[in-house]
Amino acid sequence: MFLKTPFFFLLLIIFATPNPTLARKPHIINFKSPSLYPESLSWDPSAQHFVVGSHRHRSLLSVSDAAVVDTIVSDPSLPHNATILGVSVDRPHGRLLAVVHSAPPLPVFNALAAYDLRSPDRHRLFLAQLHDPTNSSRPAANDVAFDFSGNAFVTNSAGNFIWKVTPAGEASVFSRSPAFTAYPVDHSKPYSFCGLNGVVYISKGYLLVVQSNTGKLFKVNAEDGTARTVLLNRDLTLADGIAVRRDGVVLVVSQYKVYFIKSDDSWAEGVVFDETALEVEGFATSVAIGGDERAYVLYGHMAEGLWGNGERDWFSIVEIRSEKESQEDDSVWMFVLIGLGLAYFLFWRFQMRQLVSNMNKKTS
C-alpha cells in the first residue's frame, strides 16, 4: 500500500489533469447578419457580449458567445450610407462610442457618436462632428479610445492627426505631431493612403497608435499630444486594430497576421515576440480582448463590402493565441508536474523510512 499510493496519485495528476492550453479548442463565433460587413469589434464586460458596427447599416449590434445577434443601437438620423468604423464600449461612463464616416461621392462626414448604455433605448448622448480646421487634408475618422476622465481620442487615417472629444461632446484637434509624418510612404503598396489607425489608451497616461502605411507604433502623451515612435524590432505591416491585455501585452492585427508585442520600459521600446497567421480571405480588421482575457479577431470581409456588391450573411469572431506563449505555458505546466512528482517521491521515501524504522523497533 505504501509503495503504490504516491505513484498512483502522481499518475492520476499527470493523466487526469487537463492541459490548460491544449485541452480547449479556439473559440469561433460564426454569426449571421445580412450585409453587415463589420469593421470594428469591442467587448462589453458587463453584458458579456461583443459589439460590432457596420459598413452598410447605421446600427450597432451585440454578438454573444453563442452567436446570438441583437441590434442595440439603430440611428437613422446619421447621414445616409454612413459607415460605422471604430467602436468602443466605455463601461466606466456607461457609453458606447462609435466613429461615423462617409466618403465621396457623398459629402465627407466625420463624427463621434456616444450612446447611453444605461438607458433602455440607448439614446444618443451627442454627435460630435470632427473637422480639420487647417483644411490641410480630407479627414477620415477611423478608431476611438477613451481615458479615465471620459475623454475620447479619434484617429484620422487620411490626415495623420488625432481628435479629442470631451465628455460633453466638444471636439478639437488634439495631436498633429511631426512624428506621424516622419516616415516615407511607398504609394505603390496597397492601403498606402491609410495613416493613423488603431488606438488604445494605457492607464499610465498615454495612447498607443498604429500607422497602417508605415507599420509604425507611436506613443502619444494623453495630456499634451506629444508623440514619439516606439522602437520595435520590426515594422507592423498593414497594422489596423490594436488591443491591450491586462498583463500589458499589446496585440496588433493586420490583414495577414496578429503581432504580439511587449515592452519593459513603458513603451519607449517594444519587442514583437510572436506572430499568428490569419485567414486572408476574411480580411481581419479588428482585435479585442474578451472574457477570461481571451483575444479575438473580427473577420468582417471588409474588402468585399468596400469594393464589391456582395450580400454576405455570415461573419466570424475567432479566438487567436500566441503559439510561443502556449509553448511556454506547456513548459511551466510540465515543471509543475515534475515538482509534484518530486514531492510525492520524497513523501514516499519518508514513508518508507518510517516503515523500516517501525519494523526495526518491532523486531528488537
Mean pLDDT for the chain overall: 87
Do 239 and 201 touch, CB atoms closer than 8 A? no
At 21 the pLDDT is 46
DSSP 8-state code for residue 130:
-
Share of the chain above pLDDT 70, in %: 81
Q: Could you tell me if 255 and 349 lie in one domain?
A: no
Do 102 and 83 touch, CB atoms closer than 8 A? yes
User: What pTM, to 2 d.p., does this model score?
Assistant: 0.84
Q: In degrees rounded to 5, what are phi and psi of residue 117?
A: -75, -15
What is the mean pLDDT of the segment spanning 9-29? 61
The pLDDT-based confidence of 190 (bands split at 50, 70, 90) is low
Distance of CA 279 to the CA centre of its chain: 17
For the residues of 48-82, what is the DSSP string, one character each? Answer: TEEEE--SSSSEEEEE-TT--EEEEEE-TTSPTT-
Q: Could you tell me if 16 and 156 lie in one domain?
A: no
Q: Could you tell me if 127 and 34 lie in one domain?
A: yes
Q: Could you tell me if 121 and 155 lie in one domain?
A: yes
What is the mean pLDDT of the segment spanning 85-100? 97
Nearest to 218 by CA among 200, 203, 244: 200
Report the number of distinct structural domains present in the chain. 2
Query: Which are the contacts of 236, defined by CB distance < 8 A and separation ≥ 6?
Result: 210, 215, 216, 217, 252, 254, 259, 272
Q: Could you tell me if 340 and 302 lie in one domain?
A: no
The pLDDT-based confidence of 22 (bands split at 50, 70, 90) is very low
Q: Could you tell me if 9 and 155 lie in one domain?
A: no
Share of the chain above pLDDT 90, in %: 68
Q: Could you tell me if 308 and 350 lie in one domain?
A: no
Residue 3 has pLDDT above 50, yes or no: no
Do 184 and 192 touch, CB atoms closer than 8 A? no
What is the mean pLDDT of the segment spanning 291-315? 88
Residue 13 has pLDDT above 60, yes or no: no
What is the mean pLDDT of the segment spanning 89-118? 92
The pLDDT-based confidence of 61 (bands split at 50, 70, 90) is very high
Q: Is 249 helix (H, G, I), strand (E, B) or coil?
A: coil
Residue 145 or residue 329, greater confidence: 145
Q: Per mean pLDDT, which range of 60-64, 137-141, 162-166, 358-362 is the poorest? A: 358-362
Q: Per mean pLDDT, which range of 134-148, 178-192, 226-240 is the poorest? A: 178-192
Length of the chain: 364
Residue 116's identity, in one-letter code, is D
Q: Could you tell me if 94 and 20 lie in one domain?
A: no
At 1 the pLDDT is 46
Q: Could you tell me if 149 and 288 lie in one domain?
A: yes
Residues 317-337 have pLDDT tens digits of 999 999 998 775 444 444 555
Structural domain containing residue 164: 27-320
Residue 308 has pLDDT above 70, yes or no: no
The pLDDT-based confidence of 182 (bands split at 50, 70, 90) is very high
Residue 42 or residue 104, greater confidence: 42
Residue 248's identity, in one-letter code, is G
Q: Could you tell me if 310 and 333 lie in one domain?
A: no
What is the mean pLDDT of the segment spanning 65-90? 95
Rounded to the nearest 10 degrees, what angle do helices 5-16 and 323-363 cross at? 170
Cell, residue 216: 509604425
The pLDDT-based confidence of 362 (bands split at 50, 70, 90) is low
Q: Could you tell me if 238 and 294 lie in one domain?
A: yes
Residue 268 has pLDDT above 70, yes or no: yes
Do 232 and 261 touch, CB atoms closer than 8 A? yes
Residue 123, domain CATH:
2.120.10.30
Q: Could you tell me if 8 and 69 lie in one domain?
A: no
What is the mean pLDDT of the segment spanning 191-202? 88
Cell, residue 354: 518510517
